[in-house]
Structure 1
Amino acid sequence: MNSSRIEDVMQAMVIRRHGDPDVLESADLPTPRPGFGEALIRVRAVSVNVFLDVANRAGRVPFARYDFPHVLGSEHAGELVEYGPDTEAEFPLGSRVVVHNAISCGTCKPCSDGRAESCANLELVGVTRPGAYAQFTVVPAANLRPLPQHVSFVEAAAMSVNGPLATVQLTDAGVRAGDTVLVQGAASSTGTMSAVVARALGCRVLGTTRSAAKLAELERLELFDAVVDSNEPGALDQIRERSGGGVDIVVDNVGSPELWKLTMGALAPLGRVVSSGAMFGGKVELNLAALYLASQRIIGVRSANEASRALFWQLVEDHQLRPVIDSTFPLEAVADAHRRLEAMSNVGRVVIEVAGA
């Protein structure tokens, strides 16, 4: 089914080798066509992910699989313009949609057990198949969700992965209204999104940052009940004082050994630490005696699942949630967006806007 004539060639930004941001270059590519069970999306916005995009560009994603030239870009939103042959049309053409970037096989044991987020054959848009630094993408029709009216394409791209991820992190940690949540690396896109979701779930939220300049910016967001400079010698005392003796949940996706000490020190008895990734390697010391004596837990969450996506988008509807947007760039300036993330200058999400499709 086609909504209109689609040009045979589209504009994209590609990499022909791994390297610094200068390897990103403009290219004209054949416009992809959807097959059975797939949909063609006119890309309007795509987030820049520090791992799936920036590290991927540099060749530091061990599970990436693609040939050059390759189109990066995983987390995106746009307009539904075409279904593949004999594909069931769940939404009308022209719908504003957000794309779930992970594609499960549906046949392995985790998929059969209803835990597709742990699929043994998981594919990712922009990592194991062509991505969204382009005017069009082809994705499974089952990976589409219509956008709430109040959510823009930029906001949708910014929340498409981090929102459901923050939701499953907190629900897997047994979050309850009134809990105190500490978000490490609060200025990152995942950090700000964790704060947005935690507040929607009725939690008190504390944050940390290693940047004095970002601390003031975070305080202005009014997402956090308090923000602490984790470099300060008295950081742990500040957190324990502001949390009334310790926090119920710590979201620590950083994996820094020094920050981990702060994570475990801030945790109250029966507290939970949840992590999805480790930017600084993830090798940390753990005092098992202290862990079991306080009945604390450490939880690893690989990615969101269908239940967390449904809950997150319901929260978006009910609470008019919006992400923290650091900055936006046009598609042709995607290299500058990568540089901003590499310099760790952002507070919140960096998003690419795609025009002219």
Structure 2
Amino acid sequence: MKALVHAEKAGFGGLSIKELKEEFPKSGEVRVSLKTVGLNHRDLFVVHHRHKLTDPPLIIGSDGAGVIDAVGEGVENVKVGDEVIINPSLRWKEKSDAPPEEFEIIDGTFAEQLILPADNVVHKPRYLTWEEAGVLSIAPLTAYRALFTRGKIHPDMKVLIPGIGSGVATFLLQFAKAVGATVYVTSRSKDKCEKALELGADKAIDSNEDWEKALSGEKMDLVIECVGAATFNKSLKQLRPGGTIVTFGASAGDVVQLNLRDFFYGQFNLLGSTMGSSEEYQEMIQFIEEHQLRPVLDQMYPLEQYEQAFNRLEKADQLGKIGFYI
């Protein structure tokens, strides 16, 4: 079995394609023959920070789609030949204020085969291509929980999404517009701003501009902050009194100075969010099917070209999702 493995060296230098032994599912498990997989910022974090040299070799990757090619004893929800998408959220079944302590995210999708609990696969929506299905998990689930469970989005809201371009941000835009909300986005890239407008954004502004001036003083009901310290206080300034900011990203810094007096006088709500439960995953799949939404695809690579894909993601050159053919 071909797989992209991280071992022996830190960072990208520890990545290599290896041939591994084929394994078979146990009771309650299934084996998926993967066709396409999605690259996430989480994979960068795993390679650069989480996976230590003292840890056993790790097959990276959490998004993927393929065909069931073997099932363990007692599996009833799927059968051999079913086309499925992987839900990477382990041991977080029901919607809750926060994930349980035992919550984990699946690793191992950057391989020809993956064994996982049968409860962690869902049938692929028929209208999606394999390229679209393979990138459909971590990003839209993160976006769905941030917007719906935490942000309580509704059609009358004005929503700001700083840093449009990432997979999560493009899903945030698509989901919010599907609900009927008014959506504003920011980016340093003119091309990304133009693409956001094509996707339905009501206004796209240059991140380097004075946001208050660019928005003509208009205030937001909800800001989904997925950039980090570089934009957090600018985002906070765009909230109306009593508005809500939901944060889950720190790629541009994770330490923020906050003026508490401004914050409590503004009656603001600050909420954290990460990933989502299996219940939210099912809701998210139903939502995209109902609205016939498709992921925004940036570029697909053969798995052997993993270095190019990782470099593109690390430089934030992408608009939407990057994926691999297995």
What does residue 106 of structure 2 align with? 125
What does residue 91 of structure 1 align with? 78
In structure 1, distance between residues paired with 2:125 and 2:54: 33
The alpha-carbon deviation at position 133 of structure 1 amounts to 1.1
In structure 2, distance between residues paired with 1:78 and 1:336: 23
Match of 1:333, SS?
A: helix
Contact 2:71–2:79 (8 Å) recurs in 1: no
Q: Which amino acid aligns with 1:162?
A: A
Residues 1:17 and 2:17 aligned together: no
Contact 2:89–2:277 (8 Å) recurs in 1: no
What does residue 339 of structure 1 align with? 311
Unmatched 5+ residue regions in structure 1? 1-9
Contact 2:159–2:221 (8 Å) recurs in 1: yes
What does residue 28 of structure 2 align with? 37
Per-residue displacement from partner, 1:61-111 (whole Å, max 9, x unpaired)?
37x798443211111111111111x2222123211111111211x7xxxx7
Match of 1:182 among 157, 160, 163: 160
What does residue 66 of structure 2 align with? 78
In structure 2, distance between residues paired with 1:181 and 1:137: 38
Per-residue displacement from partner, 1:105-126 (whole Å, max 9, x unpaired)?
x7xxxx7x86396121222222
Residues 1:149 and 2:129 aligned together: no
What does residue 325 of structure 1 align with? 297
Match of 2:180 among 199, 202, 206: 202
1:227-238 to 2 correspondences below 5 Å: 227-232=204-209, 234-238=210-214
The alpha-carbon deviation at position 262 of structure 1 amounts to 1.1
The alpha-carbon deviation at position 335 of structure 1 amounts to 1.7
Contact 1:79–1:95 (8 Å) recurs in 2: yes
In structure 1, distance between residues paired with 2:237 and 2:110: 42
Match of 2:224 among 241, 248, 251: 251
The alpha-carbon deviation at position 305 of structure 1 amounts to 1.9
The alpha-carbon deviation at position 213 of structure 1 amounts to 4.4
In structure 2, distance between residues paired with 1:315 and 1:253: 22
The alpha-carbon deviation at position 205 of structure 1 amounts to 1.1
1:269-288 to 2 correspondences below 5 Å: 269-288=241-260
Match of 1:28 among 19, 32, 41: 19
Seen in structure 2, the aligned counterparts of structure 1 residues 75 and 317 have a Cα distance that, compared at 3 Å, is: same
Match of 2:20, SS?
A: strand
Contact 1:34–1:83 (8 Å) recurs in 2: yes
Provide TM-score, normalisation by structure 2. Answer: 0.93
Contact 2:146–2:274 (8 Å) recurs in 1: no
Seen in structure 2, the aligned counterparts of structure 1 residues 116 and 12 have a Cα distance that, compared at 3 Å, is: farther
Residues 1:102 and 2:102 aligned together: no
Contact 1:38–1:141 (8 Å) recurs in 2: yes
State percent identity of aligned pairs: 26
What does residue 3 of structure 1 align with? none
Residues 1:224 and 2:201 aligned together: yes
What does residue 274 of structure 2 align with? 302
Unmatched 5+ residue regions in structure 2? none
Residues 1:53 and 2:43 aligned together: yes
Greater CA drift, 94-103 or 65-74: 65-74
Seen in structure 2, the aligned counterparts of structure 1 residues 204 and 43 have a Cα distance that, compared at 3 Å, is: same
Match of 1:348 among 295, 320, 325: 320
Seen in structure 2, the aligned counterparts of structure 1 residues 275 and 198 have a Cα distance that, compared at 3 Å, is: same
Q: Which amino acid aligns with 2:83?
A: R
Match of 1:118, SS?
A: coil
Contact 1:253–1:278 (8 Å) recurs in 2: yes
Match of 2:67, SS?
A: strand
Contact 1:162–1:190 (8 Å) recurs in 2: yes
Contact 2:155–2:180 (8 Å) recurs in 1: yes
Match of 1:251, SS?
A: strand
Match of 1:138 among 101, 104, 115: 115
In structure 2, distance between residues paired with 1:200 and 1:114: 22
Count of residue pairs the alignment pairs up: 325
